[in-house]
Chain A
Amino acid sequence: MNFTAQELKALALPLLACLVLLGAGAALIAWTQQEQRAAGGELAAARDQRAQARERLMRIAEEEKEVKEKLEVYLRLRTLGILGDERRLEWADAMTRIRTQRELPDLRYRVERQRLISSVAGKPANVDFYASAMKVELALLHEGDLLNFLADLRESGNAYYSVKHCSLSRTGAAPATAGLAPRLRAECEIDLITIVDRAAKA
């Protein structure tokens, strides 16, 4: 069937209407499919959140036990002064006290500036771990003085003392007469670690 120009003109509008309707239908399907994808994503996220919430609730007994255990350590860290800002004056006091108590002939130390060694994500704020490197030079009467010094230092608190290096050497030949002259020399490098919990209540 061959169409005249007038007939083609008469068919143009219905053809356009047909195309518009089909286009609208396709657009409708595309839109609903997009909504489907979005709703599917939200559903998957909601499932994950519910699963996490349920798992957390199921593990609450373990968590309570964990909190109790960890709280004990946390409070101990706070009591020892490890948790909180640096207390450099207390460190100096401790060094002086140990030297006097142990009657160490010579004790020199130097504490470097504080540096951040790690930052752990918490909620609502991070927990930052800092270290200040301390170099100590000791004159010792015998080896035990070094061990005692380190033990005293640890007991003094106000930081967690992480010994990185210690060397022990003789100062020279032993004196002929018995005396209190130091026979050994020790050099140690110790990290004084403190923790700052940004969410901690004062």
Chain B
Amino acid sequence: MKHLVYFTATDHCVYSWAGGRLELQARFPGDDTGVTGFREYLAGRRGALFYAMADLAGEDFHEELIPYLRGGDREQVVQRRLAQRYRDTRLAAALTLGTVSGERRNERLLLTSFTNTQQLAPWLDALTEAGAKLAGVYSVPLLAPALAARLGVTGGRAFVVSANSAGLRQCFVEEGRLRFARLERTVDMVPDAFAAFVRTETGRLAQYLATLRVLPRDGPPVRAIVIAPPGQRAAFERALVSDARLSFVTLDAAEAARKVGVKSAPAHTGAEQLYLHLAVKRAPREQFARRADRRSYYLWQMQRGLVAAGGLGIAACALVAGANWLDVGGMRGDTRRLRVETEVTTQEYQRITSAFPVTQTTTDNLRATVTEFGNIARRTAAPRDALVYVSKVLNDFPQIELDALQWRLERPDERAAAKPPGGAAPAVAAGGVVQVLELSGRVGAMRRSDYRAITAEVQRFASALRADPAYRVVRSQLPFDVTSEGTLSGDIGTAAETGEAPRFTIVLARNVQ
């Protein structure tokens, strides 16, 4: 709940505001007894949020021109001008009216303050002493641009005229900015008389502003938005006849309240209810209170800001987390769907495989058994083919007599380990197996001294063994070593040849398919 203190020349009212509903909480006389009563009222409201709104006659408006500045420099110049203009700057404000381009750029300011700030000071001190949070001190004119905007004034010049409890309030707004305002005290009058009074006072104000050259003399008529008290609209419309200077638009108080957003207000409350509501909902940046008077409010705002930042942070995190969670949900849904599809596919597979031939083992073991057995079988060979091959070749070499024959399977790694130095290795693919056939024999029916014939016969035999390209002669040892690396020996001139026929060795190899 928010509290509003409405200051008038006669008495001060405290309203509570919640959701557009205004309720009168207390009324205090404007003298010292009122301050005392206000202090008692505040006693049980430490930390409560207060808005102060003054609706007083003695409000000064003065236009100034300052160099176009920003930040601290501007603030210093503004404070200096306020100090030059007003004796007490505790409740003084400077409203910008925009910039003026000339030889150098300047800013137009509307300096405003109360003629007698002392009538408000004890009340503000009471708020500070009670630990209340003062959001700001506003005057009705400061809120007039906001009210004009809510009532449909989007630009240009306009008077906003309302019948407040304090009197007839007239505010002049130009391009959405306050230029001037005055409060004329009123007495109880019949509607027609009051309407005529409004007509007269508005005309006088227009005349005054024209004299000050705030209003052009020959300009178009200025709109005057008049908020008639409840039930007096008809009388106002009769009295407020537009002319060349003023164009009147009359609104009923209830209609204005609806447009502004006031949902309810105490009976017999004047048009100040509109300004009070706007002080809470559309408070302008400019107000009268010093920073020191609003310290509790700043602190409260910082507290709220911190909590709000935390709230915003967790909300943002929750959004990201929510998006992540949606993603997780999507993925889990996809996973469930895929698992169901997998299950269905597996069941279909099992249904089909159940119609397969009956095996005495599982399909996996069947495959493993036969595949591995095939691998083993491919790495084995029988000696039969090699022996038959040699036997056929031997048929053409009757002089060759074999003494020994050795057949074996070799793996490349074993062969590499056993390879004689300088010996040729049979070409075989890595991981393959070769069958090796080692033949040892002699050449008979020839004279031992006929080494040329013996050597030629062995070489011819070796060549014949190469007839099948599957077989390779990987090593051969001739009866006589005719290589440059070997030792050649002979026994020439012996009458009779003695000893055994010279021996040879041939090693064949063939890859196992």
Contacts and interface: CB of A to CB of B under 8 A. Distances in A.
A74 B366 contact: yes
Contacts of B381: 163
Interface string B368-405: 11111110110011111001100100000000000111
A21 B406 contact: no
Interface in B333-382: 334-335, 338-339, 341-342, 345-346, 348-349, 352-353, 356-357, 359-374, 376-377, 380-382
Given A50-B338, A57-B345, A122-B368, A29 B324 contact: yes
Interface in B306-353: 306-307, 309-311, 313-318, 320-321, 324-325, 327-328, 331-332, 334-335, 338-339, 341-342, 345-346, 348-349, 352-353
Contacts of A21: 307, 310-311, 313-314
Contacts of A143: 387, 391
Given A26-B317, A121-B368, A14 B338 contact: no
Interface residues of B, number: 71
Contact of A71 (B334, B366, B382): B366
B68 interface: no
B372 A129 contact: yes
Given A18-B310, A39-B332, A43-B335, A165 B409 contact: yes
A181 interface: no
Given A21-B311, A74-B370, A7 B299 contact: yes
Interface of A: 1, 7, 10-11, 13-15, 17-22, 24-26, 28-29, 31-33, 35-36, 39-40, 42-43, 46-47, 49-50, 53-54, 56-57, 60, 63-64, 66-68, 70-71, 73-74, 77-78, 82-83, 117-118, 120-125, 127, 129, 143, 146-147, 150-151, 154, 160, 162-170, 193, 195, 197-201
A36 B352 CA distance: 37
A79 to B, nearest CB: 12
28 contacts: A1-B298, A11-B306, A14-B304, A14-B306, A21-B314, A22-B309, A29-B317, A29-B320, A31-B321, A32-B325, A36-B324, A39-B328, A42-B331, A50-B342, A53-B342, A67-B356, A67-B363, A67-B366, A120-B368, A122-B367, A123-B362, A146-B387, A147-B383, A164-B408, A165-B406, A165-B408, A169-B405, A195-B369
A143 B384 CA distance: 10
A188 B368 CA distance: 30
A74 B361 contact: yes
Given A10-B303, A49-B338, 12 more contacts: A13-B303, A18-B307, A21-B311, A28-B321, A53-B342, A60-B353, A73-B370, A121-B368, A143-B391, A151-B384, A167-B404, A199-B362
B302 interface: yes
Contacts of A24: 314, 317
Given A21-B313, A167-B405, A160 B373 contact: yes
A11 B303 contact: yes
Scoring A32, A35, A40, A201 by chain B CB atoms within 10 A of each residue's CB, the highest score goes to A32
Contacts of B352: 57, 60, 64
B334 A43 contact: yes
B85 to A, nearest CB: 27
B367 A70 contact: yes
Nearest to A83: B369
A28 B317 contact: yes
B373 A77 contact: yes
Nearest to B409: A164
Contact of B331 (A7, A43, A67): A43
Nearest to B390: A143
Max chain B Cβ within 10 angstroms of own Cβ: one of A10, A24, A42, A166: A166
